[in-house]
Amino acid sequence: MYLCRLIMDIKSIKQRFDIIGNTAGLNRALDIACQVAPTDLSVLITGESGVGKEVFPKIIHQFSSRKHGAYIAVNCGAIPEGTIESELFGHEKGSFTGAHDTRKGYFEVANGGTIFLDEVAELPLSTQVRLLRVLESGEFIKVGSSKTQKTNVRVIAATNVNIIQAVQNGRFREDLYYRLNTVPITIPPLRERKDDIYLLFRKFAVDFAERYHMPVVTLTPEAQEALKNYYWPGNIRQLKNVTEQLSVIEKERTIPVELLTTYLPHYNVSTLPVLYETKSEDRPLSSEREILYKILFDLRNDMNGLKQIVHELSQGHTPVSNPLNINSPGNRPCPFPDGITDTEEVEEESLSIDDHEKQLILKALEKNDNNRKLAAKEVGISTRTLYRKLKEYDLI
């Protein structure tokens, strides 16, 4: 009886919140959300960017005793570091330049309701301390005030970063992590929901066709299989974008596999689905650290090949192997002087990730005339992350 009621509840939730899919990972996440909703426990939602984490706080709020209270969603990564505490906790008049009036913060406005902190890992450490106090005692102090205020707010947080690694790197407080992670909910990426991919595609295609009064775009069986086996680094958000692009750009309403793959970056039509998921070189690099690792490994391989050629030349014979393609047609003769006899004297480039990261940031700043916003975009990180790294490497 309980199982049947639970299945019916999940089905009704999917209909109410327009959730498509029936994979085990998705159903498990919905099940946990339903069970934790009647409580006041804090919840930490984790998952890759684009998986739909923002829907689950709404579900928890609507099925809680706070559903008639305020629901406020805050994107912590979109608020400048200098104003984040004012936004969350409010400020008194004259507490800083530009504070012309007293202002209520989100925690005061959401009293009796729910506050959703998206991208919580982007919060500065100083703000994390104040957030921890709110979670533990329900107390906060406005910026520029000495008066303690009380609030009764249910906190739900979400992040798309590896928060355990952030704790180990000192970028996120361990005590705050355990306080937020009272009930964890993990949203599976789209690549782990293969049976849901085409269902989502059809949903997006029908919605777009109804909105703009055009025929619905469909896929051939081969294109459906390609859609299912693609890696989807952008998850549901990327799938929706691809569906809308096909609906707008293509005149034909039935899309073959050859046309579909032109809309899927880094798609290799000759790669089998299983190999595509297991080969790391086919998988998009998900972080700046992975990109740096790849660069360092390529440099090390080049150095090893270079030392091998120098050693063979120093012995007075033509290199057996030519990993760097030196002296091949179209290349210049080997530029090494005749006197080199000890390959170990060749100075190796530093393999420190921090050194290369620092140089990468310096080059990006130099290229963009010290414009931090453009430099951050060039490197592929947020402006706030760039600012933190500049302080970390004593560059400001």
pLDDT tens, 300-335?
Answer: 777 777 777 777 666 665 555 454 444 444 444 444
Looking at the structure of the chain, the number of domains it has is 3
Angle, nearest 10°, between helix axes 353-367 and 383-392? 120
Where a domain ends, among 251, 282, 313?
282
> Please, which pLDDT band fits residue 286 given cuts at 50, 70 and 90?
very low
Residue 58, pLDDT above cutoff 80: yes
| Residue 70 CB coordination number (10 Å) | 15
Whether 115 and 233 share a structural domain: no
The model's pLDDT over 328-370, given as tens digits with 9 standing for 90+, comes to 444 444 444 444 444 444 445 555 677 777 888 888 888 888 8
**CA–CA gap between residue 388 and residue 376 (Å, rounded):** 11
Residue 33 pLDDT class (50, 70, 90 cuts): very high
Q: Is the pLDDT of residue 372 over 60?
A: yes
Q: Is the pLDDT of residue 7 over 80?
A: no
Same domain, 213 and 331: no
Cα–Cα dist 249/214, whole Å? 12
Of all residues in the chain, the percent with pLDDT exceeding 90 is 57
* Shared domain check, 298 and 266: no
pLDDT tens track for 179-202: 999 999 999 999 999 999 999 999
- Which of 22-26, 53-57, 74-78, 333-337 is least confident? 333-337
Q: Which of 153, 173, 188 is the last residue of a domain?
A: 188
On whether both 352 and 231 belong to a single domain, the answer is: no
User: Is there a single domain that holds both residue 306 and residue 271?
Assistant: no
Give residue 43's pLDDT. Answer: 96
Provide the domain limits for residue 255. Answer: 193-282
Query: Is residue 19 a contact partner of residue 31, using CB atoms and an 8 Å limit?
Result: no
For residues 101-108, average pLDDT: 91
d(CA 120, CA 76): 6
Q: What pLDDT shows up at residue 330?
A: 46
Asked if 68 and 172 sit in the same domain, the reply is: yes
Please tell me the predicted confidence (pLDDT) of residue 292: 64
Asked if residue 107 and residue 12 are part of one domain, the reply reads yes
Cα dihedral sign for 174, 180, 184, 190? negative
Q: pLDDT-based confidence at 48, cuts 50/70/90?
A: very high
pLDDT value, residue 355? 75
